[in-house]
Amino acid sequence: MADVFANPVLSGFHPDPSVCRVGADYYLACSSFEYFPGVPILHSRDLVHWTQLGNALDRPAQLRLPPGTVSSGGIYAPTLRHHDGRFWLITTNVQGDGNLLVTATDPAGPWSDPIRLPGVAGIDPDLAWDEDGNCWCTYAGVGQVRIDPHTGESFGEPRRIWSGTPGAKAPEAPHLYRIGEYWYLLIAEGGTERGHGVSIARGRTPAGPFEPCPANPILTHRGTEHPIQNTGHADLVRAPDDSWWMVLLGVRPRGGTPGWHVLGRETFLAPVSWVDGWPVVGGLSTAPPVPAWPLLPGRADPVRDDFDLSELHPRWISLRQRPADLCTTKERTGWLTLHGGGGSLDDLDVTFVGRRQQHLSCRVRALVDPAAGRGGLAVRLDEHHHYEIEVAAGEALLISRIGPLRSVVARRPVPTGAVVLRIEVTATESVRDARSGPDTLSFGVEEPDGTMATLGALDGRYLSTEVAGGFTGRVIGMYAAAGTVHFDWFDYEPADAGPNGGSDE
């Protein structure tokens, strides 16, 4: 473990973290909601610096997200475990497939086709094995049923094993562990907004009865001025040196009142000690970052993609599906080619390829050839909340969609052929006005000398969870609304130091 580290350890839209350790290696999975491929799988040696190995659900046969899948629908809250020489991942597709389980011998994949779990009635499913080899699935509510993880069969009737703290809403995200002489049941409660927290109970068997920790909640930032809020949905892991750690989600609100978080729910890390048989969670460090951009062998620079490989890096995500005939690096060598689907970012079936915004301030550039098509760069939260700069027929447009209102903010003539489009995100540094937003997004076309001809600057609060609702964070990427659009390269550059480099590469 690093002696000093900054939070978050996984910046940007990486919610609902679940972690397991195999030897000296840690593996972590997160929710992916309406994006394809689903459930990013990451690797670390110190719980601080993470490299994305792949995605557990990277084939249409594993992840069915029909065109009608709503934003913040799709894949919820995976649990990742290692047992009997295999990795096991259980999650929920709330758009119809329900709870499902996939396995792999290598966390980088391939992962198996899913096993359906019709007897598991709730979201946020967990897996735990007892000393007799029984597999217990505990889920939000907090309910539990014994299952056969090889077939998906359930045994006996589901039963509720703990109600959480009296008066606290939404007991969810359960994880069950055998630690010493007790079985510990960790849950989140209070809702995933500012009231979020982590509580724990223990019992002599995996089915209880469970006694709550007298110090519950063992972690919450509700009612505080801590810069990290909404803390909850946690998982515990033991390091090789016998130290204990907790990964959890949280957000970083900025601006005035009520505070807006734009990157989504991120993954944070906290130390855990044990006192009188109960876990005590240490503070969430906000120490200066340890800069690092660890590279995945054989992959391109982590902030730039020249689209020279036959397959996209696993960081790239699309909306609900990614048909090869609409998105390919094989049609024009060294370019990503997108063929238009939908008519705009307002549509569920638009052709879009993006990456998570991972820094409060950043700059994004791409060389775009609209050919006979129409497309460009977009910052997306959902179909009703997005900004984009679009090029077509010798003109660049700055488009804003906020709730029911869609408008062309500005337009500018550009040369026909390839142009460099640019987005600059600048975080609010200080709050002089309680109504000030979290950041400003500037959009423009890059001149030959490298300067930006700005079309306009937009308030970032309208691309925040506090305005739009939902469970995701900003994704910045490329799209084609009509015809064919080519992208020669895409460059993402942090403009702030960022926690631990903000790397998920």
The residues that are catalytic are: 16, 172
Contacts of 25 (CB under 8 A, 6+ apart): 43, 44, 45
CB-CB neighbours of 288 under 10 Å: 11
Residue 203 to residue 174: CA distance in whole angstroms: 14
Residue 106 to residue 123: CA distance in whole angstroms: 26
- Please, which residues bridge with residue 182 across strands? 179
Q: Which helix (H) or strand (E) holds 467?
A: helix 465-468
Residue 325 to residue 309: CA distance in whole angstroms: 17
Residue 424 to residue 76: CA distance in whole angstroms: 31
Tokens of 377: 């760069």
* C-alpha separations of 9 from 76, 147, 476 in Å: 21, 33, 20
CB distance 377 to 399 below 8 Å: no
Residue 407 to residue 410: CA distance in whole angstroms: 9
* C-alpha separations of 430 from 104, 288, 426 in Å: 47, 19, 12
Secondary structure letter of residue 465 according to DSSP: H
């799209």: which residue's tokens? 479
